[in-house]
Amino acid sequence: MSENLHLAVALDGAGWHPAAWREPDARPRDLLTAGYWRDLAQEAERGLLDFVTIEDSLALQTAEPFRTDERTDQVRGRLDAVLIASRVAPLTQHIGLVPTAVVTHTEPFHLSKAIATLDYVSTGRAGIRVQVSLKEHETRLFGRRSVPPLTPDGPIPDGLIEDAFAEAGDYVEVLRRLWDSWEDDAEIRDVATGRFVDVDKLHPADFTGRWFSVKGVSITPRPPQGQPIVTALAHQTVPYRLVGSSADVGYVTPRDVAHAREILAEIRAAQAAAGRSEDHLHVFGDLVVFLDGDEASARARRDRLDERAGAEYRSDATVFTGTPAGLADLLLDWQAAGLTGFRLRPGALPHDLTAITTGLVPELQRRGVFRTAYEASTLRGLLGLLRPANRFTSARKAS
């Protein structure tokens, strides 16, 4: 019997297909309401999923990979993913909440306290998906650096990708240092003695690198999980190194079992090179899914969406169109290659999310490879990850 696998869903607007907002059960008028995101997260929780990710960006959505467009027939505009997660957190009890944040133009100090706060609000269910941006139109929003306009088939300046992901690695290191800057017992809160905090147990992050110089202590005490979960999407060698060196969960986009094995070999090599061979690093496969009770219905629905969009839907990830049982077969095949879980991108919401929770999950449970109840109260616990020791506590005890 296969080991239990982990499942997450990636939430984005009305779904990953650009015409999903026009489906009869879609809720386009509710996309900017808290109730919409609450309902999606609660449905994912009813399916006992490990966590949801929430997409975000620094510019309006676009159908073009490196520039804006002027389309008016697709969803444009979104809420801030971290704030969505913080609003949804008190309305859920078990599921992990992993918003996306672009780390190329933002400051790690601000994000560290936002995610630490999310971990408190959710009582230990927070994570973050760090995302790199090499889009020239997003760079113009900040004016602090320049990135040449890129095209899908054009040349990429030497070092551009390497530098962007090296910066992301430093960003994650600063996040982790700030989350550790308060020891777990730094807050005394002793009314009798008048001592609220032990300042000897507060430690400056003390990071100096090419992109960041962060000296201070976080304003937020160490999060309930110690370290909230760090995740990243990777498609090629340089991002694989970021996953191997810095992440708790990596999302990858294999074409088949053989490709999954190749990707895993690269990530495990990067993990070893970073001195993390003993760390439990999850690698999830990403798939876009269109699910129905029979394959013909799923295909007809996807064809209808493609017709409305005016083009066949394509994705960086494998697109699965079929039944929950057929998807279960695929997931177990890919799990045998070494993937520990999957992040599913519903083609249309709420249809494909409900098909995951009421179709795929029961099918996996029947096969004995998915939980029948939540077995932990934190996201780290759901993923089988230990709460890490505070680096400064460990250093002080060793000295």
pLDDT digits over 132-143, tens only?
A: 998 888 888 887
Q: What is the pLDDT of residue 135?
A: 87
Contacts of 196 by beta carbon, 8 Å cutoff, 6+ apart: 187, 188, 189, 190
> Cα dihedral sign for 79, 82, 83, 86?
positive
Reference 184, options 379, 382, 397, 377; nearest CA is 397
Low-confidence ranges of the chain (pLDDT < 70): 1-2, 396, 399
Contacts of 240 by beta carbon, 8 Å cutoff, 6+ apart: 234, 250, 252, 263, 266, 267, 270
Q: What is the pLDDT of residue 119?
A: 98
Q: What is the pLDDT of residue 144?
A: 80
Q: Encoding tokens for residue 276?
A: 């993390």
Residue type, 185: D
pLDDT in tens, 316-351: 999 999 999 999 999 999 999 999 999 999 999 999
Contacts of 183 by beta carbon, 8 Å cutoff, 6+ apart: 198, 201, 202, 203, 222, 390, 392, 393
Tell me: cis bond preceding 223? Omega within 30 of 0 counts. no
Q: Where are the domains of the chain?
A: 6-179+228-398
Contact 40, 350 (CB under 8 A): yes
Strand-pair category, 249-252 with 229-233: parallel
Please give the model's pTM, rounded to 2 decimal places.
0.96
Helix, strand, or coil here: 68? Answer: coil
Q: What is the pLDDT of residue 242?
A: 98
Q: What is the pLDDT of residue 138?
A: 85
- β-bridge partners, 291: 322
Asked: is 6-179+228-398 a CATH 3.20.20.30 domain? The reply is: yes
